[in-house]
């Protein structure tokens, strides 16, 4: 069975995880991602893959040669996650280099100049000769110090990094720069109401976005159960006043390590750490569809970037999309007539596969099945949920179930 989707980014081969370096160039959406091309046959050697698609219409992803490989002294144990910066005509990628020596992890923050990313070769990538720009974690923090994300800050720039303190507490730190080359450590972001935070021993993959007059901080607290959520409020220097406490970003079972852009596009990893055992052949994991995000009533709302996906019955990478108004239960049926997945919306709640109901404003649901990737959008954008579903035969479509 071929579970490869048509419109969700999956690697040509090997293992995919976190999305990295998302940016738009004209009508082209560029998405980099953590890639182990020889998984599972060779030891882990994480670099960055690169895919592109159209912003304006759903088109299959175009795959380009990998952009980064872990082949320098400061990143020889992995080119870990990071983001992209578009500064006029210049495009830069920032990533965490991982080095493990003598039982110690040394994280470094590095940048890469991108030349002609939309060209026929998929870009030329030149590491800064001054790397590492930030050679290690500051005093008081462990080697779990990674995932730089950079946004504009007045006439300069700010970088947030996920971190762990020496007493194993998850946190987020900030740097500032005027030129994207020299970075000054500012310290930890401080929150006025810690009771609205999720805890966790490490906070990964932070995204700090300004939406109108509010800030949205997305991050993934590592704990016994890895999850991803966001808080909403206002940031004054390093002081964050919380107006909405930690709220799940996605209610599915396969969502982690998202990356968001200043212009309101988000993708997440449809996978989880240490969950690589799937029936796909020669590759594993996908990203979500690109999502449009916006803030409304202090909730982060999400919807697919594209208004609809073409039906793909009978093609490699089978799929089915349907918009449903009103209450009811709907099942994803394969060609043999078997039910692979069920969504129920009733009495102001939504539930997946008979699980616990989740509060959900009434409204239209969009149900998407694209290969093994299943996504649900409901509640006017307040609810999104991502799942990996493996049927015995291609999808027949969505059917009502009373």
Pairing assessment for the beta strands 62-68 and 286-287 based on DSSP bridges? unpaired
Residue 284: phi, psi to the nearest 5? Answer: -150, 135
Tokens 């993934």 correspond to what residue? 220
Cβ atoms of 220 and 257 within 8 Å: the answer is yes
Pick the closest to residue 108 from 60, 150, 143 (CA basis): 143
Cβ atoms of 380 and 361 within 8 Å: the answer is yes
Pick the closest to residue 71 from 40, 48, 50 (CA basis): 48
Residue 202: phi, psi to the nearest 5? Answer: -160, 135
Rg (CA), the chain: 21
CA distance 33 to 53: 14
CA distance 207 to 258: 8
**Cβ neighbours of residue 153 under 8 Å, at least 6 residues apart?**
176
Secondary structure (DSSP) of 28-77: EEEEEEEEETTTTTS----EEEEEEEESSS--PPEEEEEEE-S-STTTTT
Residue 380: phi, psi to the nearest 5? Answer: 65, 20
CA distance 216 to 156: 19
Active site residue 334: no
Could you tell me the two tokens for 146? 């990674």
Marked catalytic residue, from 18, 147, 334, 370: 18
Tokens 């149900």 correspond to what residue? 367
Cβ atoms of 43 and 279 within 8 Å: the answer is no
Q: Which of the residues are catalytic?
A: 18
């Amino acid at each position: 069975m071929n579970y490869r989707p048509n419109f969700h980014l999956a690697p040509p081969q090997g293992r995919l995880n976190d999305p990295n370096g998302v940016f738009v160039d004209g009508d082209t959406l560029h998405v980099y991602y953590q890639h182990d091309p020889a998984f599972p046959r060779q030891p882990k050697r994480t670099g960055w893959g690169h895919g592109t698609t159209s912003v304006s219409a759903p088109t299959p992803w175009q795959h380009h040669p990998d952009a980064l490989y872990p082949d320098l002294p400061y990143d020889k144990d992995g080119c870990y996650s990071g983001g992209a910066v578009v500064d006029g005509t210049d495009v830069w990628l920032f990533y965490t280099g991982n080095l493990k020596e003598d039982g110690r992890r040394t994280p470094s923050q590095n940048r890469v100049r991108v030349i002609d990313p939309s060209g026929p070769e998929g870009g030329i990538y030149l590491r800064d000769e001054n790397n590492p720009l930030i050679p290690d974690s500051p005093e008081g923090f462990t080697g779990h110090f990674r995932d730089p994300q950079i946004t504009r800050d007045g006439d300069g720039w700010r970088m947030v990094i996920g971190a762990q303190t020496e007493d194993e507490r998850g946190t987020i730190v900030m740097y500032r720069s005027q030129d994207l080359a020299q970075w000054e450590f500012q310290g930890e972001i401080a929150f006025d109401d810690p009771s609205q935070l999720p805890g966790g021993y490490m906070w990964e993959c932070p995204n700090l976005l300004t939406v109108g007059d509010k800030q949205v901080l997305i991050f993934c607290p590592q704990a016994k159960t890895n999850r991803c959520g966001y808080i909403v409020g206002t940031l004054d220097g390093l002081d964050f006043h919380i107006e909405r406490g930690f709220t799940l970003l996605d209610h599915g079972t396969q969502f982690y390590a998202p990356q968001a852009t200043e212009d309101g596009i988000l993708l997440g990893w449809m996978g989880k750490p240490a969950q690589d055992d799937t029936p796909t052949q020669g590759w594993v994991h996908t990203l979500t569809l690109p999502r449009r995000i916006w803030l409304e009533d202090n909730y982060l709302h999400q919807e697919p970037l594209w208004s609809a996906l073409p039906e793909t019955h009978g093609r490699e990478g089978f799929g089915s999309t349907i918009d449903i108004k009103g209450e009811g239960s709907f099942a994803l049926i394969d060609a043999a007539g078997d039910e692979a997945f069920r969504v129920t919306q009733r009495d102001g709640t939504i539930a997946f596969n008979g699980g616990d109901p989740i509060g959900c404003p009434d409204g239209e649901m969009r149900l998407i099945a694209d290969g093994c990737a299943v996504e649900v959008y409901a509640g006017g954008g307040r609810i999104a949920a991502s799942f990996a579903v493996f049927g015995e035969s291609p999808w027949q479509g969505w059917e009502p179930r009373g």
